[in-house]
Structure formats: structure tokens, C-alpha cells
Amino acid sequence: MKGLIFDIRRFTVHDGPGIRSTIFFKGCPLSCLWCHNPESQDSEPETSVKTLSLDGLKFREEEVSGRWMTVDEILAEVEKDRIFYDESGGGVTVSGGEPAFQPAFLSELLSALKSKGFHIAMDTCGFTSWENLALTINYIDLYLYDLKLMDDDLHVKYTGGSNKQIIENLIKLADAGKTIIARVPVIPGINDSDENFSALQVLLEQLKPAVTEINLLPWHAAAGNKYMRFGKENVMKNVKSMTREDLVCRKKVFEDLGFIVKIGG
Ligand code: SF4
């Protein structure tokens, strides 16, 4: 069996504790307007065009995003840095796209990673069936669970999917006793309202002690170039990046409720 992977990044430090390798699955059931990895959304390999300059000359280079890989090929990659995981309390993170969008391959990979003793985190948008997510429960040490908009109509409008299943799955993971970090990408003018944050507080309060940590992720415009390369429309191109300072007040509110809060991952 093979899975479609668009990147394996080594020495990541924002995708769970310690030093990690992050495996990016290609394919996502959502299509968030602000997605930082537009190349992660389609579930087929995609070609992009890079323009390079050398000595005043311009060259166009094609690059394919997405490679079908076996579990053994991925294991060989992540094994290279085992010493760093062990010394830093790190491990391997599956991310995307959405890892649960390739449930059979994900399950096989997680089983292999677990048998090799890696600490495993899963970054998920939660927009999948409970059956798919349940396949991961015995293997995942830490879920990094994205929460975007609490109003369902707005969730559909800005991500292309309802939040009902996402919230139900989150509650089921918490009931199953899993450890979860809630990750909230904060997008100016879309989900940074008091209403959205109040509703998030109510939900997250109910999920203690499964959720004790929250990551607020300020939106930044760095992905603009990728939209151009992949020929995709960037509807956020005129929106200004947020800064850490923009989120200090939000952080304090969650801290006062007893959460550990980080701005950024
Ligand atoms: S869930 Fe994540 S990967 Fe999928 S479209 Fe949204 S931001 Fe992009």
C-alpha cells in the first residue's frame, strides 16, 4: 500500500513536543480560504512552476508536489533523526492536508511507527468520520486538533464544510481520555470576533482535562507565493498578517481560565 505525501520536514519544533519529523499527507476534505498549504488540498500529485533568476536570466522549473510512498520508505526517513527525538522528547507528527483522508494508509503507518517506539502526534482538522478517527486512537500520543469557527454557517462559508462532525469527534476523543492540544488559526475578519472566542471558551472549558493547552496561530501572508505557483486564486492577498501582539489579550483570557496558551505552535 502507498500513501500520497507532499513533504517530510525534519527538525520541526512547532508540531508537538521536542524535535520532530512531520509527515505531510496530501489531500484535504476542507478548502479553508486562508490555507497555508494550498498544495495539500488536492488528493492527486500536482505540478507547480517556479521561476528562478541567475545572472539576469530567468528560468522556469517545474516541480511535482505529492509522491506515492510506502510505509517502509517513510520509516527510513524518520529513523534518520531518532537520536534527536530521544534527546529532546520529540517524535513524529502526521499532518497535512488531512492524514485521516487516507485512512487505510494512515492506520498502517501509525501501526508501524508505534511498533518502532516513536512518540506520535497527529495534526487533524477533525473533518472525517468517527470510524476513521477511531482507527488512530490506539497509536496517537497527542492530537493537535484544529478549531476554526464555532458558527456552523460561517464554518461552511469559509472552509467548505460543517463543523458538526469536527466538534463531535473532538468530544469523543476527549471522552476516550486522549491528550489534545486545541489549535486555533486566527484569521483577521473571519474568526477573530468576540463571539467566536466566547463560543470557543465554552467548548474548551467542557473538554478539560483532555484539553489543557491551546495554541493560537496568528495568520500570516507567507503562502501568497505558493498560490501563484500552483495557479490557485489567493482570496486573502490583500489581508494584512497578524502579529503576536494582536493575540496577547485573547491569550490572557484563556490563561485566566487555567489553560496553558502559546501564540504560535
Ligand atoms: S484543514 Fe488545513 S490543510 Fe485543509 S484546507 Fe484547511 S487549512 Fe488547508
160 CA → ligand 1 middle, Å: 10
List the residue whose alpha carbon is closest to atom 3 of ligand 1. 97
Least confident of 26-30, 136-140, 143-147, 238-242: 238-242
Which atom of ligand 1 is closest in space to residue 127's alpha carbon? 1
146 CA → ligand 1 middle, Å: 9
Which atom of ligand 1 is closest in space to residue 185's alpha carbon? 7
Q: Would the pLDDT of 62 be above 90?
A: no
pLDDT for position 42: 94
pLDDT for position 61: 83
182 lines ligand 1 (CB under 6 A): no
165 lines ligand 1 (CB under 6 A): no
User: Residue 155 contacts by C-beta under 8 Å, 6 or more apart in sequence?
Assistant: 148, 149, 161, 162, 163, 166
Sequence-separated contacts (24+) of 149-157 with Cβ below 8 Å: 149/190, 149/191, 149/196, 150/195, 150/196, 150/199, 150/200, 150/203, 151/195, 151/196, 151/199, 154/190, 154/191
Q: Determine contact, residues 256/250, Cβ cutoff 8 Å.
A: no
Q: Would the pLDDT of 196 be above 90?
A: yes
At 217-259, the pLDDT tens digits run 999 888 888 888 888 888 898 888 898 899 999 999 999 999 9
31 CA → ligand 1 middle, Å: 6
The H or E element containing residue 167 is: helix 164-175
Cα separation, 246 vs 263, whole angstroms: 10
pLDDT for position 112: 98
Taking all residues of the chain, what is their mean pLDDT, rounded to a whole number? 95
At 12-42, the pLDDT tens digits run 999 999 999 999 999 999 999 999 999 999 9
List the residue whose alpha carbon is closest to atom 6 of ligand 1. 32
pLDDT for position 48: 85
Written as nine digits, the cell of 215 is: 495554541
Mean pLDDT for 118-132 is 98
pLDDT for position 147: 98
Q: Would the pLDDT of 265 be above 80?
A: no
Mutate to test the pocket of ligand 1, among 22, 158, 159, 186 (most ligand atoms within 8 A of CB): 159
The H or E element containing residue 4 is: strand 2-12
The structural domains of the chain, with segments of one domain joined by +, span 2-263
97 lines ligand 1 (CB under 6 A): yes
The H or E element containing residue 121 is: strand 120-124
**Helices vs strands, H then E, count in the chain:** 9, 11
List the residue whose alpha carbon is closest to atom 5 of ligand 1. 31
pLDDT for position 186: 97
Rg of the chain, C-alpha, whole Å: 19
Query: CATH homologous superfamily of domain 2-263?
Result: Aldolase class I (3.20.20.70)
pLDDT for position 51: 81
At 166-186, the pLDDT tens digits run 999 999 999 999 999 999 999
